[in-house]
């Protein structure tokens, strides 16, 4: 079985060497880059199975690199684990809403980082088993493998998080989910994401769906559901 490939992006040489050593010891094929520009170039030529991306980079920073990668059909499926020295809510939320899969705050434990990497790769493999799933409800068609949503036959571009929330709600129409359940389902547990960020995502999702946004209903004091 071929080794899973990981691209590590950080402008600190000691961090690159630390991650290269620990990831290689676990059997991963590791490539490193010291800038966002270099990371985008490498990912475009040979997309890795996962990227560990520092947010504080010279030139194109980690958030902008994430935005560029997630807007490109050739690289949008690459799982991204963010590294941040700041650990501030706005940076973490911004990265997750752009489509990053997890985050680690510096200084970090290599063992914890390896566990997070394995969890993200495992979710990626599990998702690959469901790529043929197509959900049809009301006037929406949702294709999981293509990460595509069509309303009355017209494609609607959604962010990674918006797509995840919509897919989670429509799989159980009529069920009511709390904001915490939505965050856990879309991102997994232990994420530094507020209830407010879920409300913002829902608002954006409704706007993009147009008249079909009315099918996403607010249940006061609880959360959200997709109308049966």
Q: What is the pLDDT of residues 33-71, one digit of tens each?
A: 999 999 999 999 999 999 999 998 988 999 999 999 988
The reported pTM is: 0.64
Residue 132 has pLDDT above 60, yes or no: no
State how far the alpha carbon of 218 is from the alpha carbons of 36, 43, 203, in Å.
39, 39, 11
Reported as a pLDDT band with limits 50, 70 and 90, residue 190 is very low
- Sheet containing 102-105: which strands, arranged edge to edge? 29-33, 5-9, 50-54, 80-84, 102-105
- Check residue 35 and give its pLDDT: 93
The band of 189, judged by pLDDT with boundaries at 50, 70 and 90, is: very low
Q: Which residues of 27-66 are buried (b: 16+ CB within 10 A; e: fewer)?
A: ebebbbbbbbebbbebbeeebbbbbbbbbbbeebbbbebb
pLDDT digits (tens, 9 = 90+) for 7-24: 999 999 999 999 999 999
pLDDT band at 72 (very low <50, low <70, confident <90, very high): confident
As a whole number of angstroms, the distance between CA 61 and CA 160 comes to: 20
Each residue's pLDDT tens digit, 159-170: 877 888 898 898
Q: Which domains does the chain have, with CATH numbers?
A: 5-128 (3.40.50.2300), 134-226 (1.10.10.10)
Check residue 126 and give its pLDDT: 62
Distance CA 209, CA 163 (A): 11
CA distance linking residue 64 with residue 69, whole number of Å = 9
Burial, 115: exposed, middle or buried (Cβ in 10 Å; 0-12, 13-18, 19+)? exposed
């Amino acid at each position: 079985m071929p080794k899973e490939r990981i691209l590590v992006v950080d402008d600190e040489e000691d961090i690159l060497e630390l991650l290269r050593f620990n990831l290689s010891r676990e059997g991963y094929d590791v490539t490193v880059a010291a800038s966002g520009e270099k990371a985008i170039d490498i990912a475009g030529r040979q997309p890795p199975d996962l990227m560990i991306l520092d947010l504080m980079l010279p030139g194109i920073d980690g958030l902008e690199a994430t935005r560029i990668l997630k807007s490109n059909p050739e690289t949008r499926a690459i799982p991204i684990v963010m590294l941040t020295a700041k650990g501030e809510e706005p940076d973490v939320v911004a990265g997750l809403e752009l489509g990053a899969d997890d985050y680690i705050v510096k200084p970090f434990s290599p063992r914890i980082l390896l566990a997070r990497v394995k969890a993200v790769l495992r979710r990626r493999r599990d998702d690959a088993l469901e790529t043929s799933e197509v959900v049809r409800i009301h006037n929406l068609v949702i294709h999981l493998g293509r990460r595509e949503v069509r309303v009355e036959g017209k494609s609607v571009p959604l962010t990674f998080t918006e797509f995840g929330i919509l897919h989670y709600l429509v799989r159980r129409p009529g069920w009511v989910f709390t904001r915490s359940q939505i965050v856990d389902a879309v991102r997994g547990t232990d994420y530094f994401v507020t209830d407010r960020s879920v409300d913002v995502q829902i608002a954006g999702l409704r706007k993009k769906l147009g008249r079909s946004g009315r099918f996403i209903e607010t249940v006061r004091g609880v959360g959200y559901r997709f109308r049966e």
